[in-house]
Amino acid sequence: MGRTQRKRKRIKSRSFHKCDGETKLIQLNSWLSKEGVRRNHKLILAVFDDTGRGVLTNKKISAGEELITLPINSTINVITILSDIPFRSIFSRNNECLLKFKASVSFQSLLAFYLSYLKLRGARTKWFIYLNSLPEEYTVPYFLHKDIQNNLDADIFSIISKQKVIIQNSYYIFENILRTCVCDDNFIQLLRRNFNLKLYEWAYFTVNTRCVYMDLTNVLDLKNIQCTLLSLVNDNTKISLCPYLDMINHSPNSRNETKLMIPKDFPSVDIINLHQEFFSDVWFSIYTKNNFDPFTQVFICYGDSHNLKLITEYGFFLPNNELDCVLFSYENIINFLSLNSFKLSQDQSSFVDSHGLNKDLYIDFRGLSFNLYGLLMVVKYYYDDTIDVSRLIYSAAVGSYNKDLNDMIKPMIKNKLDEIKKSIKTLINYQNKCVIIDNCVGLMSQYVNILEKFIKC
């Protein structure tokens, strides 16, 4: 076989197809060029069998290479929101609402509200092509039918419930603000008529799954936020949507670095009367610290994450994720122990509280977590005069093994195992080629592996 043929065969056997030719993505690429975004010329958009759409390199990429540099004005962040005059006007003559809902939403929620507004403005915003390139739906279990959610593992269910509270509460707040604002701008009237939960949920998970960390506090003076829409926010504003950069998928093995490039002597700009032009020389770059072979997928790392977070926040699952663990609540453990003649005394409970042994209670592939090990030590040996519990706990290595302690909670672990297996069976019956259920079953099967390994010890 000749060199060209071998090369062709190699490329053919790879599990991706390029998608740069899709109309939406052609438009995205030319929009990015117009915006002045500088992309590493080796990068191409592609759809991969295992991860879906992502970024491919057609030549070798070496550690230290820049992947993409964006003018700050081609990213959606706190500056974009504060510089948008019609959007700002929703809040500016609505002091009552600003007071009523002071510090009651996250910046992520505000960004989601802003994205809903942009989406409804359609082709009348500069972001139209970017918004069109985003997924129409997300594979997080939040979007599963309620009946199916009821059969998920308790930890997955608990995160969905918290997401629902956050999303519904913030939706209610924005709806309320829209209803009471006195603004007569046409776009705001449009938003008032068409803002709905479905759109807001899409926007919320767009932000959740695609935002990157971007600290703009060196270029933006956030001291005077009272009487501005930022007074609604109860956390920091350090996230941003970055077109194209947000096409890169996650790998736990990747390492990367981002940099905000600010001209020398750049002033910290006051947020009142903010204008995007002030920031035209501010850029944001991402560099990889990995090597990538030609015709392989380029990844970045979204942070070290276990599958519970990846599934519920990002909508995907990594097989054999060593960071996975099965969580147990303090209350459940204490209830189980007291039903099995290990009731904690007042002194034991105080010791547990003061040593923080009532949280981070879990089992992973290495065995009991440090705190769960410590808690069980207190239960078992606190009144044993021959043992110094404090010394024993703090001299224990991670994943310490003690058969007596393990045996003490094995019945509880067996119950949990049976529960998870039963739920998996039910979920499999629901399954009709649903990636969200596949992911949840994948995680729950990982829990089964962890617990079975523990029981066998």
Ligand X SMILES: C[S@@+](CC[C@H](N)C(=O)[O-])C[C@H]1O[C@@H](n2cnc3c(N)ncnc32)[C@H](O)[C@@H]1O
Binding residues for ligand X, rule: CB under 6 A, are 51-54, 135, 139, 209-210, 246-247, 249-251, 314-316
* Six-digit token string for 393: 């706990």
- State the DSSP string of 421-440: HHHHHHHHHH-SS-HHHHHH
Q: Which is nearer to ligand X, 315 or 367 (CB)?
A: 315
Q: Which is nearer to ligand X, 135 or 294 (CB)?
A: 135
User: What is the CA 235 to chain-centroid distance, rounded?
Assistant: 16
Q: Which is nearer to ligand X, 113 or 130 (CB)?
A: 130
Q: How far is CA 402 from CA 71, 74, 274, 451, 457, in A?
A: 56, 56, 62, 16, 10
- State the DSSP string of 135-151: -SS---GGGS-HHHHTT
Give the CA radius of gyration of the chain.
Answer: 26
Q: Taking the complex as a whole, how short is the minimal distance between the CB of residue 94 and ligand X, in angstroms? A: 34
Q: Taking the complex as a whole, how short is the minimal distance between the CB of residue 186 and ligand X, in angstroms? A: 31
Q: Taking the complex as a whole, how short is the minimal distance between the CB of residue 311 and ligand X, in angstroms? A: 10
Total residue count of the chain as it appears in this document: 457
Q: Which is nearer to ligand X, 139 or 228 (CB)?
A: 139
Q: Is 450 exposed, middle or buried (0-12, 13-18, 19+ CB in 10 A)?
A: buried
Q: How far is CA 319 from CA 256, 428, 439, in A?
A: 22, 18, 9
Q: Taking the complex as a whole, how short is the minimal distance between the CB of residue 114 and ligand X, in angstroms? A: 18
Q: Taking the complex as a whole, how short is the minimal distance between the CB of residue 287 and ligand X, in angstroms? A: 17
* Six-digit token string for 404: 């007596």
Report the candidate in 206, 191, 200, 216 with the shortest Cα–Cα distance to residue 166: 200
Per-residue DSSP letter, 344: P
Q: Which is nearer to ligand X, 406 or 446 (CB)?
A: 446
Q: Taking the complex as a whole, how short is the minimal distance between the CB of residue 277 and ligand X, in angstroms? A: 29
Q: Taking the complex as a whole, how short is the minimal distance between the CB of residue 381 and ligand X, in angstroms? A: 44
Cα angle for residues 92, 93, 97 (degrees, 5° grid): 90
Q: Which is nearer to ligand X, 75 or 231 (CB)?
A: 75
Q: Which is nearer to ligand X, 398 or 435 (CB)?
A: 435
Q: Which is nearer to ligand X, 139 or 163 (CB)?
A: 139
Report the candidate in 224, 222, 218, 216 with the shortest Cα–Cα distance to residue 265: 218
Provide the CB-side half-sphere exposure for 386 (13 A, CA): 1
Q: Taking the complex as a whole, how short is the minimal distance between the CB of residue 242 and ligand X, in angstroms? A: 9
Which residues, in sequence order, are CB contacts of 265 under 8 Å at separation 6+?
Answer: none
Strands (E), 42-201: 43-48, 52-57, 66-71
